[in-house]
Chains A and B, each alone.
Chain A
Amino acid sequence: MLTVVPLDLLGDLFGNVGNISQIAFTLLFILLFFGFGQKLQMRQYMWDIDRGLRRLDVIRGQAKDLTLKTVKEIGKPTSDPMPQLNVLMEQFLITPVDMDPSGIVSKFDHLLDVHEMKFKEDVHRIAPSADPAQLNNLSNLVEASWALNTIYRIIRHFYLLGKKTNSIFIIIQLQALLPLIMQEAEAYLGAARAFAEGQPIGDGIGPLVASRLMKDKSQRKVEKDVIVAETTLEDRRIIALKAEGPGGNVGKPGDAIRSLIEENGGKVSMVVMIDAALKFEGENSGEVSEGIGAAIGGIGTERFKIEEEATKNKIPVYAVIVKESILEAITPMRKEILEAGEKVLERIKSLIVERSKPGDTIIVAGIGNTIGIGQ
């Protein structure tokens, strides 16, 4: 019966040549699936990567067009900013040698400072009319475009390398990672739109909570791009700090916390850090959790400074985090994350009541990008 079925079909489809076709098809089948099975699979993976690469190219093109349009609108450049923008898109940072890791944090810190300063100066050159807040937003926008350009270049590199060397292992790894890479690329495009319009992003929940504590209080600037205000909460003296907004900025909270501890002669009973944290799949966005340690992302230099100063003065560091996905962290702040701000304030209050005495001095640091959030 099993042999009759293909004969019937092939006979119906191709008439008298059915039998010959059956032999040819059987041979072709054996040849294709046993001889070229892996090649066929690789070809299929490469189609997927090729399609992904085209999408990445479209996304990076959209981000670049948006950057150019925003630079022209806000910065009012006198000449065409495209050549300088292309130079910015290809910028890189050479990390310090880590064979002898002693002192590497200060080296990193210095490099990052120089990189940021140069980046902002370059952006200012192509957007001379932008005010400081707009300049920060434009820098963030150019960085998002740079990230998309870099993702595209890396994926294209490995795709072409896999194609050139016929290495199925490079292709399989690339194909397996592609959905996550596409998700990240989409997030960056969303971030570019938010940066172009100066809208608060999910990562800004820390500065948002800090700004609520600072509301209507006298403010001063400490260290680079960090604003501090004093308030009272449950009879404790609260020193709230955040990056200076509303331009896109993360400031240097590590330096600020260090200088505030020094200012108070080490008499700080605790440091509470509020930040956005990546959630696991299945967790709800806007969920609030608390823990121990310095809640701050980035390369690690700021966290190092906070940990060092806290250890030196035996100050406990507590973290209150708001869970969100990578997409939510860099695209306009979702309602559930905004609403989590109130829950964070409640958590801080209970943490303070449980872990300190009335009259104590407490530093509350809102960590994250303060775009679209003033103080």
Chain B
Amino acid sequence: MILYIVLVLVGFYALVNLVQVGGSPISEALYFVVATLALGFVAFSLMRVRRSFALANPAPNRVFEIVKCKQCSFKQIKNFALGDYVTKTLGLCTQCNTANLFIDGIYGEPPHRK
């Protein structure tokens, strides 16, 4: 933590000198390098911390069910409901009006990581 605070201070100091004081082209280039390295390192570390928090709390999968009818070509994809399982019969088919609906498959889609 102390290292990051020191680096931020050095980075800002170099940045202020670069913008306000200036100097020879070599000094300006060096101020620029120091500011970029110091602030870049802090920014990179912060991004790593953010990423590690994101990994620690991965979003759950989105889970869907494929519902089919044994009698006709009816097929529907719907969200997974608690208590459902593959081969479970679901009742009346809206297309052929027979009690032949069943869950043919359940699948999950991975969460999209930012």
Instruction: List A residues at the B interface (Cβ < 8 Å).
Output: 5, 8-9, 12-13, 51, 54-55, 58-59, 62, 182, 186, 189-190, 193-194, 197-200, 208, 211, 215, 245-246, 331-335, 337-338, 341, 372-375
Contacts and interface: CB of A to CB of B under 8 A. Distances in A.
B107 A198 contact: no
A84 to B, nearest CB: 24
A193 B62 CA distance: 11
Contact of A246 (B55, B80, B85): B85
A335 B26 contact: no
Interface string B53-96: 00111101101001000000000000010111111100000000
Given A8-B26, A197-B80, A186 B87 contact: no
A344 to B, nearest CB: 13
A199 B63 contact: yes
A82 B88 CA distance: 33
Given A9-B27, A199-B80, A332-B63, A208 B108 contact: no
B34 interface: yes
Contacts of B14: 13
25 contacts: A5-B26, A8-B24, A9-B27, A9-B34, A13-B13, A51-B52, A54-B56, A55-B52, A55-B55, A194-B61, A198-B82, A199-B108, A200-B107, A208-B105, A245-B86, A246-B88, A332-B63, A332-B108, A333-B106, A333-B107, A335-B109, A338-B105, A338-B107, A372-B85, A375-B87
Nearest to A10: B30
B106 A186 contact: no
B87 A332 contact: no
A91 to B, nearest CB: 25
A341 B86 CA distance: 13
Given A59-B56, A372-B85, 18 more contacts: A8-B26, A9-B34, A12-B31, A13-B13, A13-B34, A199-B80, A211-B86, A211-B87, A245-B86, A246-B85, A333-B105, A333-B106, A334-B109, A335-B107, A338-B107, A341-B105, A372-B106, A374-B86
Nearest to A57: B56
Majority secondary structure, B binding face? mixed
A215 B60 CA distance: 31
Contacts of B49: 51
A199 B106 contact: yes
A54 B53 CA distance: 10
Q: Which of A54, A199, A338, A373 has the most CB of B within 10 A?
A: A199
Interface residues of B toward A: which range? 20 to 34
B26 A373 contact: no
Contact of B57 (A5, A12, A58, A332): A58
A198 B63 contact: no
A12 B49 CA distance: 33
A245 B87 CA distance: 10
A189 B61 CA distance: 11
B24 to A, nearest CB: 7
A374 B65 CA distance: 14
B58 A186 contact: yes
Nearest to B83: A198
B36 interface: no
A166 to B, nearest CB: 21
Nearest to A199: B63
Interface in B1-56: 13-14, 17, 23-24, 26-27, 30-31, 34, 49, 52, 55-56
A333 B82 CA distance: 16
A24 to B, nearest CB: 16
Q: Which 5 A-B pairs have the closest CB atoms?
A: A332-B108, A246-B85, A374-B87, A55-B56, A58-B56
A245 B86 CA distance: 9
A198 to B, nearest CB: 7
Contacts of B66: 338
Given A208-B86, A374-B88, A375-B87, A190 B57 contact: no
A8 B30 contact: yes
A315 to B, nearest CB: 29
Contacts of A182: 55
A57 to B, nearest CB: 9
B110 A215 contact: no
Nearest to B86: A373
Given A12-B27, A55-B56, A197 B82 contact: yes
A189 B55 CA distance: 11
Contact of B60 (A193, A246, A341): A193
A114 B31 CA distance: 70
A59 B57 CA distance: 7
